Chains A and B, each alone.
Chain A
Amino acid sequence: MKIGIEAHIQLSTLSKIFCSCPTSGSENPNTLTCPTCLGLPGSKPVLNKEALHQAIKVALALNCSMPTETFFSRKNYFFPDLPKSYQISQYEIPIGINGKLENIRMRRIHLEEDPGALIHKGNTTLIDYNRSGIPLIEIVTEPDFKSPNEVRLFLRKLITILEYLSIYTRKSEATMKADANISTTGEKVEIKNITGLKEIERALEYEAARQKKEPAEQQETRGWNSEKGITFLQRTKEEESDYGYIFDSDLPKIEISKSLQEEIKKQIPELFLEKVSRFKTQYKLQAEDAETLAAEKELAELFEQVATNIDPLLAAKWLRRDLMKVLHYNKKELKEIKIDAMHIIELLTLVKERKINDATAKELLIKLIEKPFSPREQVKKHSLEMLSSETEIEDMCKEVIKNNKSVVEDYKKGKQEALHYLIGQVMRLSKGKADPKETEKILKRLLQKTVVS
């Protein structure tokens, strides 16, 4: 099985690619438009340099070769969402070629404008040109994927890289649109316009299974019906060159100097893959922990701040498991909360020094994502310290044994779960402050002596 993809990603510029209309800020249709993005007669495009620079940045981050000069072309086709009936895109010489991300080769990366959007309402179709002229990059891979799952993992890594480059924001995966081509035993089939990573994987899985039953006899283009979970025939394959490309002579050639490349290269931070391998060697993290922490820019930064002051393994465990769980449960993103690395350090120091137990630490973590406070002061103020005095715990253990005769009996009969229940009861009695390990030790000792009457 061979799969290749064309991913379309919106750049994060403030204004559109060929005019000064803003890229966001209004939900009302056709309010973010001007003569240029509406394609009115006499209007002319002017390239937004920021869009060019962002595209160069992506191409460099994906290890592409770059031409010294590039230009725009007109891709001609008729569709009601396309104001000029041609899309300004790139054809012969894209911004980047021959890139690589791990084992996947990138054929080309080019810059282009988004058309408008069709809105279907009952029997009528309306057109919103707010999107017209939004800058996009198209990333085309070689057919290097061997399974739909590989595609998904690749796109996830790609998104992480784009996040590191401050180009992509993970509001939802829906903003990643892709076309995918897949060939199993027969001819190549292209599936157009799939939105979201999970959908891309689903569509490819469906198509792989379908082709096993009915191998494609000719190249064709299919659509993806997400609701029914099936692909459907749209047309037999049109070659790219049928778009009658010509140079867009409204836009002069663009020089990409070595110095510009160098300048943009300097703005590229350490990216996902480098970060994962550094985390593994520098902090001795497991591969899985390193990948989870590096997958989100803000999480990686927080981890490194915490790990300089605390055992990195403990920091990794708490940040990737517990903090992520708490955030996920509360439907929050790390980047939208105010969390102070110093407070996490304090919290984990309390854990490390066995001043508080895990349950207390988790409670505090939940509160920390709401608003910043000093965990040390909080523990002092509400006397949340772990009970480690043996006599205190022993008294509680005795009481629990006395009040749970049947459970004790079960324990005596060899039921290990019974012990866990008793530990739980002690924790409850101590309002969560007892040291669970100490409690277990004491309980076991006391139970040995206890005679069931």
Chain B
Amino acid sequence: MKINEYLEKVKSKEISVVKTVEKILQEAKNSPNHFTAISRSYALEQAEKIEKNPEGRLAGLPISVKDGVCVKNIESSAGSEILKNYRPPFSATVINKLEKEGAIIIGKTSQDEFGFGGFSVNTKKIPKNPHDLARSCGGSSGGAAGFTSFATQPHIALGESTGGSIANPASFCGVAGLTPTYGLVSRYGLIDYANSLDKIGTIAKTVSDAFLGLYHIAGYDEKDSTSLPQKMLQEKKVKKIAVIKESLNVDKEIKDIILSKLKNYDTISLPSIKKYSLPAYYLIALSEASTNLAKYCGLRYGQTLPLQGGYNEFFTEVRSKYFSKEAKRRIILGTFARMSGFRDAYYLKALKARTLIIKEYKKAFKKYDILVSPTMPVTAPKFSEIEKLSPLENYMMDILTVGPNLAGLPHLSLNAGFKNKLPVGIMLTANHLEEEKLRALGEEVEND
């Protein structure tokens, strides 16, 4: 059932919200590790209220929330051990907006610790791909995309992308993942990975459902200073599209699937983006991440240890024990990039590269409405294959998604077909605030 149909039936009381929520809670429980926390009693309580009085434009709609987005009184640990059992005293702005419209929060979905990864394996609860349980959902919003694919009941997932964490799992799980323009959706209540890159977005079975979610979470928020006062542009017409030349340097089958979805297109070369986006992304993201993670030192919230010795020994012990290997690697890399003597060569240079990348995109958007590429260079890998990847090979997987993320550009990944029964995602990127163009082309590709 389409979400719009469901919402109408809730309004006319032709369908039971409680029964729908009960069913999806059961699915959440049965899902292969898609949830870190299921808010069963809270969700049912809301469902009963809304069934009696279906107020709000999303009345009765189940929402799953990526673990890093804070929900008041519900464990929000961003997939980390250091924040295990942390229950925030406040909800993220997006949660308040959705609940005001009658949406029902069913739980928190699994992810890589603090968003650090592309396969959701850097966490205790590793979500499995519904298309093949031996394979990864992608990451870092792995649980969100995995459950979107797995669920049969109406549902929208909230995801978050720093360098591709919505598009990547959407691609691997064969669903629609929408990452909006940076600043369009408030970050208030999102546990930070990299503040200049983090964006909350939506994942759903269809493009229109992903947009339905976005319409309700977008908007200026005075609690987030980087929140944009502007609204999404209304222009929907897609006149010219271009495929990014460098992105076609992938598996031939994937390339053919992508190109088969397009009718008229040009090819464009974006050399700076290919050359600089991956190193610039990692230097900026990790520099910011290493400062964001400094607050987790066992003193005020999250996991702790008995207080003994000096403060330095105490927080070192807490952080050594509860951060994963990947978190430690990223803290060390990020700290190095901003250290005196290296700051100019790495952190500041990466910021310059970012400006260059934005310029190259802006130039391309003078001519084209949408840029197209595969979302991922591969289909969902097996866990056994992921284990063999070096950290660098891991980071290389983000090559196609980091560009729009660095530039804060809206992008949509949707299913373009299958290779050996595994989903292949196509990624559409538009200029800032031109999400509606993504929708127009996305729906065309989807209905093709």
- Which A residues lie at the B interface, using CB under 8 A? 35, 38-47, 74, 76, 78-80, 83-86, 239, 241-242, 244-252
Contact = CB atoms under 8 A, between A and B. Distances in A.
Interface of A is mostly: loop
Interface residues of B, number: 44
A76 B311 contact: no
11 contacts: A40-B88, A40-B90, A41-B70, A41-B83, A41-B86, A41-B192, A41-B295, A43-B188, A44-B187, A80-B299, A247-B196
Contact of A244 (B299, B338, B351): B338
Nearest to B351: A247
Given A44-B187, A78-B297, A239-B340, 19 more contacts: A35-B90, A40-B90, A41-B86, A41-B301, A42-B69, A42-B76, A42-B190, A43-B90, A44-B188, A44-B224, A46-B224, A76-B291, A79-B311, A85-B294, A242-B339, A244-B335, A247-B196, A250-B225, A252-B225
Interface string B302-317: 0000000001100100
A398 B80 CA distance: 100
Contacts of A248: 195
Interface in B138-197: 187-192, 194-196
Contact of A249 (B191, B196, B223, B290): B196
A250 B226 contact: yes
A246 B338 contact: yes
B340 A86 contact: no
Given A35-B89, A41-B76, A42-B188, A251 B295 contact: no
B225 A78 contact: no
Given A79-B311, A239-B340, A249-B195, A44 B223 contact: yes
A250 B295 CA distance: 15
B193 to A, nearest CB: 11
Interface of B is mostly: loop
B44 interface: no
A39 B225 CA distance: 16
Contact of B223 (A41, A46, A244, A245): A46
A353 B110 CA distance: 90
B222 interface: yes
Nearest to A35: B90
Contacts of B76: 41-42
A242 B295 CA distance: 18
B288 interface: yes
B251 to A, nearest CB: 36
B388 interface: no
Contact of A74 (B69, B188, B194, B291): B291
A90 to B, nearest CB: 15
A246 B311 contact: no
A78 B90 contact: no
A38 B300 contact: yes
B362 interface: no
A417 to B, nearest CB: 69
Contacts of B225: 44-47, 250-252
A46 B222 contact: yes
Contact of B291 (A35, A45, A47, A86): A86
Contacts of B191: 41-42
Contacts of A41: 70, 76, 78, 83, 86, 88, 191-192, 295, 301
Given A41-B83, A244-B339, A252 B226 contact: yes
B106 to A, nearest CB: 20
Contacts of A246: 287-288, 291, 338, 347
